[in-house]
Amino acid sequence: MENQNYPEEIDLQKYLLVLKRRWLVGTGVFATFAGLAIFAVSVQKPAYEASGKLLFQSNRTSSLTGVGEKIGDLEALKRESNPLDTQALLVESTALKEQVIDALKLKDKTGEPWSPNSINLKARAVLGTDVLEVSSVYEKPELAKQIVNQVMKSFIENNISVNRSQAKAAGEFIQKQIPRARKNLEEAAENLRRFKATNQIIDLQQETEGTVSTINHLNDQLNEARSELADLKARESELRSQLNLPGNLATDITSSQVPGVQQVLEQLQTVQSELATLSTSLTESHPDIIGLKEKEAALKVLLNQRTIELLGYQPGISPGRLQMGSIKKDLTSRLIEIQTQRLGLAEKIGSLEKQRNVFRNRGIILPNLEKQLRERERQLSVAHSSYENLRKTLQEIRVAENQTVGNASIIEYADVNPSRQAVKKKMGITVGGTFAGLLLGIAAAFFVDLIDRRLKSVKEAEALFGYTVLGLIPKFETNDNTLTSEEYSGNISQRVIVATTPRTVIHEAYQMLQANLKFISLDKKVRSIAVTSSVTKEGKTEVAANLAAVTAEIGRKVLLVDADMYNPSQHHLWGLFNSIGLSNVMVGENDFETAVQKITNNLSVLTTGVIPPNPLALIDSERMTSFIEMLSKTYDCIIFDAPPLVGAAEAAVLSQMVDGVLVVVRPGLVDSASASAGKSLLERSEANVLGIVANGINVKYEPNNYFYYNPQSESTVENMNGVEERSSIKL
């Protein structure tokens, strides 16, 4: 599964520990600001607030007459988002303050009138009402009351005066507007009249409805006529096919059936019959044949003349077709009748289409006419309404000019109470000073902690060195009430807790350190250990002494060697003489058995001896290497109290000779630069660093995951009274 990136959680405990460490700085800053706030509140002078109330509404006198109500009321103001804000500004105006100063004859100590800025005046609208609250704050309660009452009186007087002047100005303006409004009304009426006359408009709505109805009726008639016309055309076609008459011959044939034409036709047919009979027996030159042909020709001419006289034109029909039977006559008559009806219907359809087009064109322009008509009617209505409103308003203004009331009235005269502003100000100063002190105190604590380059906690030390924390030694103080173990004798220092105050939380911490060392040396035997630190005063000497003592308690044979020849201290802790020691053994003045001093059956101490001029030469020698190898064969554990890493090379050299190195770190004492330098020396010397021992730990300033202890352990750690209180400290 791929690693998922989660946002880093805020370590609140880390910040709480910063505040614990720097509580003195934070408390000092907080107390300073809180004290300043209390002092500022104490020097505040007492103040009194007088407040009265004004009601804004339409005046009652004008409402009785029914006119003049809109002059001087708040109707115009109500169209604004917050009307009373304007009135509040008028109450707080400089002009009104000057009137109050003149009315109350307010003067300063030199006898000069007050300036308007000297009057502390506030006006605010009461939410959800038409009430304006007027207030003033002064040290003298009676003066504050007088100022508020006078402000309200002066405001009402100004309001009445302003209303009168506004009414007069409005009347003059409206008087000038009435003639123009009357002219606009007359022009709008004349414009509407001309428009109706030009477009022949009586009632557009009825005309529109009638036009639509007429068009629909004409459409119905057209459809019916077209249907009849189609039927007549079909019948006409059928009769023509029966009569076999092309074109308009039916009319010609029917018209030729009069007696005069028919008589000539009969005579012609008789002559033609005789001519046909004689032609069979006589020749063409026979006189009878010639006579009959002449008679035939004369009859044809006569027939043609009578037909032309009857029809009025030369017929396109042969004489043989001018005579027909009764059935054909009837069919021909019906054909002529149908043709007549068809022609009549065609004319009717043409007439109906013309009428429909006329109404349709009218219907197209009606919406535009209606729109124009409505616009002119609206203009007339607006002009009429404007004219009537001006006349009505002028009447109201004439009445309002003579009224002596305003739109504001006093509903509550000034009442004096302790100033709410002064109380809020004191509370604000107190709360603000306290809050500012708290914030600045926290900021100061974090700032001091930030600029302090010392390692402040075990967590920081572990992160800087990068080694495992093998032991946590709480900070403790000693006193004279000690309980020395029966195994130890002599004048042992109280700082050797294992020997002087067993069965305590410190003792248990060293036992935990020894156990952790045992765990890490299971794979590779660690016999020789150098205990060092980055700088002096980190407690490496005490850690080495107590570690040697607690290791000896479990039955291991332990040798404690004081290899810090710059500041030897082990002989002070164990109450020993330092006449001979490590330096004497290294130069060959004394043998080891003479120099070593036995503390218990399992614990021996080798002090530094005489301090040599060049300690590095003694440490960095083959004899020291051989000496350590010899001790490893005799003792189960050899613990070297090495010099600090920074400032001396002996610790780095010694760390190469031993099996492992323990680095003592004291948070709150060593700075990050020194610790980094010590770590760098260890890395360059390629020493086997077993881990770090955090010494002098204040358990209150460390995260809870480092320590698990009962509530009584803190007092035990700090006071080491020697009582058998047991506490648990775990990594």
Q: Which residues contact 399 (CB under 8 A, 6 or more apart)?
A: 62, 65, 67, 68
* Residue the block writes with tokens 């000779």: 657
Counting Cα atoms < 13 Å in the Cβ hemisphere of 588 gives: 1
d(CA 635, CA 632): 5
End-to-end CA distance of the chain: 31
**For the segment 120-154, what is each residue's pLDDT rounded down to a tens digit?**
888 888 888 888 888 888 778 888 888 888 888 88
Residue 253 pLDDT level (bands cut at 50, 70, 90): low
CA dist 599 to 95, 580, 619, Å?
A: 101, 16, 25
* pLDDT above 90: residue 68: no
Parallel, antiparallel, or unpaired: how do β-strands 408-418 and 48-56 relate? antiparallel
More confident residue, 232 or 704: 232
pLDDT of 75: 46
* pLDDT above 60: residue 398: yes
Q: Are 335 and 232 in contact (CB under 8 A)?
A: no
Residue 730 pLDDT level (bands cut at 50, 70, 90): very low
The residue type of 112 is E
Q: Which residues pair with 136 in a beta bridge?
A: 50, 121
- Crossing angle, helix 420-451 and helix 12-21, to 10 degrees? 90
**For the segment 189-219, what is each residue's pLDDT rounded down to a tens digit?**
888 888 878 877 777 777 777 888 888 888 8
* Residue the block writes with tokens 């040396």: 521
d(CA 579, CA 610): 7
CA dist 483 to 100, 477, 489, Å?
A: 89, 15, 12
Element (H, E) at 146: helix 141-198
* pLDDT above 60: residue 402: yes
**For the segment 666-688, what is each residue's pLDDT rounded down to a tens digit?**
988 888 888 898 889 989 988 89
Parallel, antiparallel, or unpaired: how do β-strands 528-533 and 660-665 relate? parallel
CA dist 517 to 354, 471, 513, 662, 691, Å?
A: 124, 9, 6, 10, 9
DSSP conformation class of 649: S
Q: Which residues contact 716 (CB under 8 A, 6 or more apart)?
A: 504, 505, 723, 725, 727
- Convert 234-271 into a string of H (helix), E (strand) and C (coil): HHHHHHHHHHCCCCCHHHHHHHCCCHHHHHHHHHHHHH
Q: Which residues contact 593 (CB under 8 A, 6 or more apart)?
A: none
Burial class from Cβ neighbours inside 10 Å (0-12, 13-18, 19+) for residue 411 reads exposed
**Mean pLDDT, the chain, integer:** 78
pLDDT of 556: 92
Q: Which residues contact 327 (CB under 8 A, 6 or more apart)?
A: none
